[in-house]
Each structure stands twice: as structure tokens, then as C-alpha cells.
Structure 1
């Protein structure tokens, strides 16, 4: 048994649901549990060391074994608690069988390094349990005395504050509102002058919690109000109403590791977006032009210094957009690991060979029949690995959903190569699904 292990705990759901001011109805909560759980499997790529995985129930053993074969590593121990609430750590702490399995998996280990999605009260409870079992625990976030800094920086409204604290931290011009009457007035003022407005709640997930207000053909903003009524994250005030900034199709971001040092580790990426929704990302050398990377570096360093002063520790992301005026505007801070973290780990692993990573988390699959990992997906990636291509299925829980989709991460020599490989793999999987549904032979290999 190694002296130190990583305990990988993708507490995505509890992080996204810890919104004390929002009262989600059971249907919305179930949707958020399903959405967050769908991304938890990406954590298998976070660490290449000795580790134990805590995964929500319903993970695919076929996928887990196959992916580790493609990585050339052994499958780690997995602990999967009974899904009573959908909140991974809470379910773990309420499951005696799972806790016993955790104690057995860490038996003889001196130090446990927790790798989490982000800080949450349950994470500190898990650390206490491990310490009670005689383990030394190293958190990847700050201690509970600084937990407030995660809540503060995760709020989308904090960016308005930071614009006055951090030189070069620019946000779109906006108005903060605390009532429906104020919101209506602010939106009417901006849209009535021929503009567009972006309305943001304090919290959001995957683009939800933001909405664009624009004039309809009849001169109203009826569609905008309908959107707000459907969006659960707009259930409380304050909200912020910002000018819509015209920008390109891709948005730059920087992941910052806040630690004790003066010079932070930073990872730069370019996000592909569809409206306000994240679609894909690319990271690595050459993805950003040098001038943009230099500006992101200055911004990331300044945010690191400020967050460090609050007691914050761990990964965070600064999402931006590059206006048509070439200015860099901060849209939000995510006070947690981002969806780029599995790509960062893989790109680091093969930095000398294929240093650029491309990710698409939700490639749609055709509804011509049930999707089988063994029949439709495994053969496609086996062919890629036989050719030395570093491409992996990263999210497969949605294969059985009402809208089946597949996540793919690729390490390549360029972002264009990565996107091409992911597109070809996606096409090959869809062809295999279609062929199975019609009784045809499987399509030709990828490439």
C-alpha cells in the first residue's frame, strides 16, 4: 500500500445545489442532479497517481475498464455509495457499507490527498471522517474558516466588485436590481434604446442563470420574460443587467491554481459557445494568440493575488469574452475546478507528444436505437488507439438518456486536429448506431 493516495471525489452536484437563497422544486433539483452527475466521470483523468475514486452509482464498469486500458494504467478502487440524495459526499457519509469500503481502500495509507470539484460543507465532513480513521488529510481547497470566499467568488455578482479592486478587471457596463419593477425598468431602458441586455442571476450552471433580452418583432421583450419564468436560477434577487458585448464565436478563459506562491500556475483555453451555453474547449500551446495569452496571464495573476488575500485556495476559472473592440471582458468566475481539468491532466501527461487538448462534452447521438458502449463506442476508440491517437470517451452516462450524447477528449498537435479527430469519432459512433438499427455492417474505421 502506498504511503500517500489521492481520493478523487467529484462533488459536482452538491457544489451546484448549495444555493441557500434558491428554493428549487423537486423537478428542477432532479434535473440538476442528473446534469451534474453526468460530468462526474471526467474525474478519472484528474490524477495519474495512486488513487481511489468515489463515483456516483450508475457508472459504466465497461467504460471504466476500457478507458484505463487506453491510458495504459490499472483500474483503481471505486467506491459508489447508494444514491439516496444524488449528492455524492452526503450519500457516502450516510452509507455504512461505502464508508467501510473507504476505510479498507485507505488501510495502511498515511496521507490522503482529497481531489474535489470544489469546496462544500460535506467535503469538510468527509475530511473529518478520514482523520478519525487515523489518516492525515490534505485538502485541495482552503479550510472551513475560509469557506466564505468560495461562496463569494462563485457568485456572478462578485465580478462587479472585483472591477473596483483589480486593475485591468473589466466587466460589461451594468445595473444591479433588487425587484421585478427595477428589472423591468433596466431591461426596457437598454432594449428600448436599440441595444441588448444580458441578465444574470447570482448563480448558474453551464450557461443557465443568464438570459439575453432583445426586442421582439412586435416591439416587446415577451420571449425574454418567458425565458426568465422557465429559469430556476432567477428565483431570487439581486440580479445584474449588463450591456450585451458583441464578440466572436470563441471565448477565452484561464484556469488559475491559487496556492501559497506568488506566481500562479495558469492554463489558458478557448471556449466554443452556442449563445450563452458552453459547447467545447481547446487548450495548449498555440490555441491563443500571444497577445491574448499575455493579457490573460496578467488578469489571472491579479485575480490570484486577490483571491489569495481572501484565504481562497485551489483551482478557479476566469471566463472572459473578447469584444469586437478587442477589449477583454470578464463574464464570471467559477470558484472550483472547471470542465477543462481532465483535459489539462491529459495534455500534461503527453506534453512532449500531443500538447493540445480538445474537449466536447455532449456530442449528440442518433435516436435510431439503443446505444451500446461495447458495440458502438468501444470499437471506434480501439481503432484510434491502434493508430496511436490519444482520444477518449469522457462522459458516457447520457448514453441511456432521452437525449443520448457522448463526451470526447482528444490530445493532438493542434486544436484543429483535436476537433477533427473528435468529429470523426463522433461520426463513426453515430454510423455504428445507425447501422445496428438497420441491420447493416458497421461503418469504415475512423480516419
Structure 2
């Protein structure tokens, strides 16, 4: 089976042990509220896709064995050894420390062990992660590299103490009709970032009132210096490109690819990756800058996965917004694409959708049965449906994560298949709340 060059740098092309330690990584940077722990719990399901072909999957929460067996069938995996329900609080480091037999089992396999990101205090590469996960440090890096990449624009940014000075600055910018991006130094999935328009500030009764509201809603952290960043105005399908890469142990940088993120407000919801998604000029600019960032991260000591996220302005010019020195949501799409390309043939487009609303709460078995029916409805479009986060269906606001994959004569055909399948899934998910939906005949 053909493999991409980056898979050699990531796991030497081998199967791997996947540790679902999203909460461990996030705990270094983010306040661990009950909500953030719960979301980290569910997001740890993405550990199934830390590499194209897992051998062992270790998860903090309990998952259905049937979920993993379904993925084995669809992705052509050999049998995956599953260990789940290990950590009620989501933190895997203490859970593994308390299980010497499991640690010994992992060691005896001699396979690469992959984590969401580096979090061990004993890891010499952790310093680079902690440095460049900070959005002010990544901005300094972007500004230093941008002169060598004429297609890149870097938004202006300044660090401001919380309180009256920040409120006055926001009010002054609003009075000039300027929208502002407000960022914490660290954040994930949209936490720690807010886009403030002049209208929002006026409607809230002023900048100070809006800042209090954002803090009370845990969108921004209290009492920390915040980054005031220029808003890059833009819209459309190409608004949110992303680049992923791997830094090998020898420091060499291996591009994985470019994709388009689905961002709702400031919150990440998923991504689409595959050939032909971005115009060649934009893809080359994003990838060229992403590789340059990777080389600097390698010099700083980082090894492993990283990505660079962008927004585009109205002329289509990309502006880098942050680096992530860890696996990411788009990384999951790249892993699935790599596996499907290897076992079914090249050219797949893959779309991940991490938090699709459900119209009713479903337990794990009922949710998998629902997704199995939906997979049958997606198949006529030429789309494959894979459950990626099947544990959040019984939350007070139930959701499910899925991936959709398709191939076609060209990217537009595959995109049409993904769009049609996504529409069916969204509609059927919401229809779970319709008491008459059960009466409709199933195809």
C-alpha cells in the first residue's frame, strides 16, 4: 500500500499506540472547568485517528467496542486493542501511572506511542510547545518570517493589561468603526478568542460591560493580559485555510497538506482536506509559509505534529493567526484521508464535523445505530460516513462527531458528494426530535 512521505516521519509508516490525553495537554494552558473537562473527555475520541493505522487505543472514558470494530472494517485496520474507561477526570498521565501492567504491555509492543501533544514535565521538547502555543510568541514569529513571503500579511497585535486601559482602547477602536479581535495568550477550539464589533460594544453598554460579560461566560479568562489584534475582514469559502506538518526527530519538516476549516464565530467545528480545495496560488502561499514556520519550530526544539491557521482578507491574501504544536482537528481528517488513499486508492476528500447537534439525546448504542442508518443514506452519493466522536449523544445539549469521505473525477464532484451527505446527516440528526420521523420509511 502506498503511503505519504509524512507518515514515515510521523510513525515510520508503522502502526502506533494512541493515548487519548487531550485533557492533559489542555490542562497546561487552560482553566479546567467542568465543561472544559467534559469536552476534553469527548474530544479524546479523536485519539482513534492519531495515525492512519492504530494498534492500541487508550481512552479516558468508556466507549463502545462496536465503534472501534466499525472503524476497523471501514478503514481496513488490523485488530485494534482497546483500553477505555481509565480516567473519570480525563487526565491520562495519572491513570497510566496507576496501571503498570498496561504500561508494560505498551512498552513490550515496541511501537511508536502518539499523544495529542507533549505534556510531560520531563520532555525536553516541552519548552518549545509552551513557548509557541502562546499567541503573542507565534505572532512575533510570523512578523519575523513574513518579509520573506510576500503573499502573507500579518495583522497588527499588542498586549494590554486587563481593566480600564483595555476598555478604553476597545472603546476608541469602536469609535473609529474598527472591529477588534481579542485573544487570550492560550486557547483552543475558540475559547479565549472574541471578535468585537462596534455594534456589539454599543449594544452591551460599552466596552467594560462587554468584557465582563465575556469573562462571566468563560469566553475570556479573568485577570490576564489580553492581545488586541487587527481584524482581517473577509468572508467566503476560502476564509479559514490551515496547514499541517510533521517535524521529524532529525528536525526535518514534512508537509502534510492544506485544508479549509469550518469556523462558526470564533469556534472551530471541523475541516475539509484533500486535493483541489484551494486555488494553487493560495495553497502554495499557505504551504510555503507553513513550512518556514515549521523550520523555526524545529530550531526551537519542537518535534512532532504542528499546524498554522490562517484567515484570508477580501483579496484572498492569507494572514496567519496561530500555531498549534500538537495534533489538531484537521489532523484527524488528514489521517483518515491517508488511510483511505492507501486502501481504496488516492484522491479522497475528507470532511470532519466535530459537534453536529442532535435533535434528541441518544445513548451510545442507539447513536451508533442511528449513524449506521445514515451511512446507508450517504452511500448513494458516493460518501463514506465514519463516527469520530460517538460519546456526546447523551449530553444536555447532545452532539456527535463524524467524518465524511468521497472521491470523484475532480474535487468539485467530491465536494458535491460531501455537501449532499452533510445535508442529509444534519437534517436527520435534527429530525430525531420529531416524533413523526420514526414513521417515515427508511431507504
TM bucket normalised to smaller: 0.7 to 0.9
- Aligned pairs for 1:113-132 (under 5 A) are 113-121=112-120
TM-score normalised per structure 2: 0.84
Change in 2 beyond 3 A, CA 1:383/1:175 = closer
Q: Deviations over 1:262-281 (max 9, x none)?
A: 55223101112211111231
Q: Equivalent residue for 1:103? A: 104
Q: Equivalent residue for 1:36? A: 40
- Say yes or no: does 1:82 pair with 2:86: yes
Q: Equivalent residue for 1:408? A: 402
Q: Equivalent residue for 2:20? A: 10
Q: Equivalent residue for 1:183? A: 166
Aligned residue for 2:322, secondary structure, equals: strand
Instruction: Give 2:259's match in structure 1, choosing from 230, 244, 269.
Output: 269
Q: Deviations over 1:12-53 (max 9, x none)?
A: 11111112xx6x4xxx52211111121221222333446111
Q: Equivalent residue for 1:418? A: 418
Q: Equivalent residue for 1:327? A: 317
Change in 2 beyond 3 A, CA 1:69/1:383 = farther
Q: 1:336 deviation in Å? A: 0.6
Change in 2 beyond 3 A, CA 1:176/1:104 = closer
Distance 2:313 2:172 in 1: 22
- Say yes or no: does 1:160 pair with 2:145: no
Paired residues, number? 409
Aligned residue for 2:375, secondary structure, equals: helix
Aligned residue for 2:400, secondary structure, equals: strand
Distance 1:74 1:361 in 2: 25
Aligned residue for 2:89, secondary structure, equals: coil
8 Å contact kept, 1:357–1:411 = yes
Distance 2:63 2:402 in 1: 16
Unaligned runs of at least 5 residues, structure 1: 125-143
Q: Equivalent residue for 1:256? A: 245
Distance 1:79 1:255 in 2: 28
8 Å contact kept, 1:159–1:330 = no
Q: Equivalent residue for 2:60? A: 56
Change in 2 beyond 3 A, CA 1:425/1:72 = farther
Change in 2 beyond 3 A, CA 1:237/1:374 = closer
Q: 1:247 deviation in Å? A: 1.2
Q: 1:187 deviation in Å? A: 1.1
Aligned residue for 1:245, secondary structure, equals: coil
8 Å contact kept, 2:87–2:95 = yes
Aligned residue for 1:203, secondary structure, equals: coil
8 Å contact kept, 2:52–2:338 = no
Q: 1:241 deviation in Å? A: 0.6
Q: 1:407 deviation in Å? A: 1.3
Q: 1:74 deviation in Å? A: 4.2
Pairwise CA RMSD: 2.6
Distance 1:410 1:120 in 2: 31
Distance 1:373 1:5 in 2: 28
Distance 1:261 1:120 in 2: 20
Change in 2 beyond 3 A, CA 1:443/1:74 = farther
Distance 2:35 2:23 in 1: 10
Distance 1:274 1:263 in 2: 31
Q: Equivalent residue for 1:342? A: 332
Aligned residue for 2:235, secondary structure, equals: coil
Distance 1:308 1:106 in 2: 27
Q: Equivalent residue for 1:307? A: 297
Distance 1:50 1:64 in 2: 11
Q: 1:154 deviation in Å? A: 0.6
- Say yes or no: does 1:220 pair with 2:221: no
Q: Deviations over 1:187-240 (max 9, x none)?
A: 122112111111100111211101122334467333344113322642343211
